[in-house]
Amino acid sequence: MPDRASPGGEREKLVYKRVLVKLSGEAFMDSEVGYGIDTDTVFSIAERLAEVHRMGVRLALVVGGGNIFRGDAASKNGIDRVTADFMGMLATVMNALALQDALEKQGVDTRVQTAINMQSIAEPYIRRRALRHQDKERVVLFAAGTGNPYFTTDTAASLRAMEINAQVILKGTKVDGVYSADPKKDPAAVKISKLSYIDVLKKGLQVMDATAISLCMDNNLPIIVFDLTTEGNIKKVIFGEEIGTIVQGE
Ligand code: UDP
Cβ–Cβ under 8 Å, residues 122 and 112: yes
Alpha helices in the chain (DSSP H): 39-54, 71-76, 81-105, 127-135, 153-163, 197-203, 210-218, 233-238
Atom number, ligand 1, closest to the C-alpha of residue 86: 7
* pLDDT confidence of residue 1: 45
Cβ–Cβ under 8 Å, residues 209 and 247: no
Pairing of strands 223-227, 245-248: antiparallel
How many whole angstroms separate alpha carbon 63 and alpha carbon 104?
Answer: 16
Q: What's the distance, Cα to Cα, between the start and end of the chain in Å? A: 32
What is the 73 CA–ligand 1 centroid distance (Å)? Answer: 11
| Pocket lining: 71 vs ligand 1, CB cutoff 6 Å | yes
Q: At what angle do helices 39-54 and 81-105 cross, to 10 degrees?
A: 60
What is the residue-level pLDDT of the chain in tens, covering all 250 positions?
444 555 556 777 899 999 999 999 999 998 889 899 999 999 999 999 999 999 999 999 999 999 999 999 999 999 999 999 999 999 999 999 999 999 999 999 999 999 999 999 999 999 999 999 999 999 999 999 999 999 999 999 999 999 999 999 999 988 899 998 888 889 999 999 999 999 999 999 989 999 999 999 999 999 999 999 899 999 999 999 999 999 999 8
Which residues partner with 18 through β-bridges? 58
Pairing of strands 123-124, 110-114: parallel
What is the 16 CA–ligand 1 centroid distance (Å)? Answer: 27
Burial class (CB in 10 A: 0-12, 13-18, 19+), 221: buried
What is the 159 CA–ligand 1 centroid distance (Å)? Answer: 14
| Pocket lining: 63 vs ligand 1, CB cutoff 6 Å | no
| Pocket lining: 211 vs ligand 1, CB cutoff 6 Å | no
Helix (H, G, I), strand (E, B) or coil at 66: coil
Cβ–Cβ under 8 Å, residues 153 and 92: yes
How many whole angstroms separate alpha carbon 61 and alpha carbon 38?
Answer: 18
| Pocket lining: 222 vs ligand 1, CB cutoff 6 Å | no
